[in-house]
Amino acid sequence: ETGVTQTPRHLVMGMTNKKSLKCEQHLGHNAMYWYKQSAKKPLELMFVYSLEERVENNSVPSRFSPECPNSSHLFLHLHTLQPEDSALYLCASSQALVAEQFFGPGTRLTVL
Amino acid sequence: AQSVTQLGSHVSVSEGALVLLRCNYSSSVPPYLFWYVQYPNQGLQLLLKYTTGATLVKGINGFEAEFKKSETSFHLTKPSAHMSDAAEYFCAVSDRDSGTYKYIFGTGTRLKVLA
């Protein structure tokens, strides 16, 4: 595997389910990011990790819970989501916080 | 405060015509500037970046951008559009001010290429 991978690519879940999104970067980068991309809305930065420490949390509801166990892996744990949480969730990584970001293909999430 | 403005959420050009996508930024310190492209059902891909040095930056797929400090602009151009250029394009700015980093994306411009 090369670059940034995300699994699953598609996820359909009910409002009472618990699921997790996984991101893995094979680039040796130090920073990782979660973004939410909804139709007709700007890209929303959710969480930023640098050297496995969370450095930014942009007022994201607590039903989204990130986890960064090491510099190569990033998870987004989901529980009791709402239909408006349906979106494309993108993971990215970068060598430094101001450097260019490399994105995964995204997980298309649908909440029923 | 740092910000990015992309003028025109939708741009249409004919195949073979000049592509011009506009990006203006504000930053209190010298910024790093980026253009990304996103094809349907994919993540964003870096087209080009400006950090320091030469203000005309060349990227992949024949795109280039020029950093104009006096105009606080970083417009993306391509001399001749190809059907495969149809995608969404995002301008981004990053800087580190007083120890705090910021990385902001514009709202995107969807490019349509007409045959």
What part of A 36-65 touches B (C-beta under 8 Å)?
42-43, 45
**DSSP secondary structure code for residue B58 in this structure:** E
Q: Distance (Å, rounded) from C-alpha B105 to C-alpha B114? A: 27
From the list A42, A43, A105, the residue facing B42 with the nearest CB is A105
What is the mean pLDDT for each group of 10 consecutive residues in chain A (112 residues)? 92 92 96 92 90 82 94 95 95 92 96 93
> Does A101 contact B at CB distance below 8 Å?
yes
Cα of A52 to nearest chain B Cα, Å = 16
Q: Distance (Å, rounded) from C-alpha B39 to C-alpha B84? A: 10
CB A35 within 8 A of CB A90: yes
Average pLDDT over residues B68-95: 95
From the list B46, B95, B108, the residue facing A100 with the nearest CB is B46
What does the mean pLDDT of chain A come to?
92
CB A23 within 8 A of CB A77: no
Closest-CA residue to A110 (of A15, A38, A12): A12
Q: What is the pLDDT of residue B1?
A: 64
Q: Which tokens hold the place of A14?
A: 């009910």
Closest-CA residue to B85 (of B43, B114, B113, B45): B113
